[in-house]
Amino acid sequence: MPIVTSPEEFNVDDLYVDLGALVSQRMYLKCEGFNFAGSVKLKAAAEMVDAAERGGLLTAGSIIVESSSGNLGVALAVIAASRGYRFVCVTDARCNAATRELIKALGGRVHTVTRPTPEGGYLGARLEYVRKLCASDDRYVWLNQYTNPNNWMAHYRRTAPDLARKFPQLDVLFVGAGTTGTLMGCARYLRRHRPEVTVVAVDSVGSVSFGGPAAPRMIPGLGAGVRPQLLDESLIDDVVLVPERDSISTCHQLAAHGYLFGGSTGTVVCGAVRWLAENRPGPDCTAVAISPDLGERYLDSVYEPGWVARHYGPEAPARLLPDEPLAVSGALE
C-alpha cells in the first residue's frame, strides 16, 4: 500500500497496455498518466525543481514561471503547491480549458498569450512574455524546460531504465517530440545501455522541430514552433510526422476500445503503426510507445465533435465501431 508525503512521490511506472489485438503488431503502450499531475511531465517537473533548489536558484519567496502548453504547467502547479511556491504558467489559446482550471485550482496563475510571433508562433510569444516577466522582478525563476538538462535527465534516470527492464527484447521505441525531454532522455539511455534498440521520434505535421515547414497546430503537447534546443538528432534513428486529423482518428479508435488517451498519445500510436507497417512488418518485432497522458482533459477538443469539425472540417474522422480494427490511412508525411 503506497503512502506518500508529497504528490510527486506517487507515479505508476509499470503500467503497459498490450495493443496487439488492436493494431495487429506486437506493440505496448507505456502509460504515464497515472499520477497526481496526470502526465509524464511530473517527472521532469520534479527533477527541475529539485535541481533548482539544490543550486540555490529557488528560495523562500521565489515565484516559479514556465511556458507550457498544458501538462508541465499542471505538474509544476502540483509541486509548487506542495512546496510552498507561487507559480505562473504562460500558455496560449491551444491549452485546453480543463488544464487551465486545474492550474488555477492548485493555486497557480495562468497567463494566456493571444498573438503568435511571426517567426516563433505561439511558443515564441510565450517565451517573449516569460523573459519580460523575469526581467521585471528577480523573484521570478524560469526553470526553462526547453534548455534545462534536468528535463531529459528525469527520463534517463527513470523512464528509460523502467521500460528497458520490462522489455529485455525491445526492438523499437516510439517517443513523441515536444520539448524533446522525454525523447532525449530515453534515447541517451538506450544509446548507452541498449544500442541495438531503434529509437523513432514522432512529431506533428506543422512542427518545425525536424526541419519541416511551420503550419497551424491545434493539439497541445507535441510539436514546436521553435526548434527544441535539447534536440540532438544524432541520438534518434528515424522520424515520423503525423497529421493532426489522423491523431484525432486514432484517439477515437482507441476510445472505441475503452482507452481514453490524450492527443499526443493518438499521434504517437498513429506514427508507430505506420512506421512498423513500412519498416518492421510481422510478429517478430517488439515495440513500445510512450503515452504521455490520459484523455479527460481533451473532452472539449479532441473528443468534442463540434471542435473537431470547426478545425478539421465536417468530414473529419468520426468514432469507429468497437469491432473495427485500429488502422490509419495515408502514407508517411
Return all residues near 264 (Cβ < 8 A) that are at least 6 apart.
176, 178, 219, 221, 222, 291, 292, 293
Helix or strand or coil: residue 35? Answer: strand
The cell 524533446 sits on which residue? 180
CA–CA dist 127, 108 (Å, integer): 18
CA–CA dist 45, 27 (Å, integer): 28
Q: For residue 186, give the C-alpha cell.
A: 530515453
AA letter at 63: I
Q: For residue 168, give the C-alpha cell.
A: 529485455
CA–CA dist 218, 185 (Å, integer): 26
CA–CA dist 219, 43 (Å, integer): 22
Strand ranges, E, within the chain: 16-18, 27-31, 63-67, 86-92, 109-113, 140-142, 172-176, 198-204, 238-242, 287-291
CA–CA dist 290, 72 (Å, integer): 16
Q: Which of 41, 43, 247, 291 is catalytic?
A: 41
Q: Verify whether residue 264 is a known catalytic residue.
A: yes
Q: For residue 270, give the C-alpha cell.
A: 498513429
- Inter-residue contact 77 to 109 (CB < 8 Å): no
Q: For residue 288, give the C-alpha cell.
A: 513500445
AA letter at 98: A
Backbone angles phi, psi at 61, to 5 degrees: 95, -10
Q: Which of 68, 204, 207, 264 is catalytic?
A: 264
Backbone angles phi, psi at 260, to 5 degrees: -100, 100
- Residues labelled catalytic: 41, 264
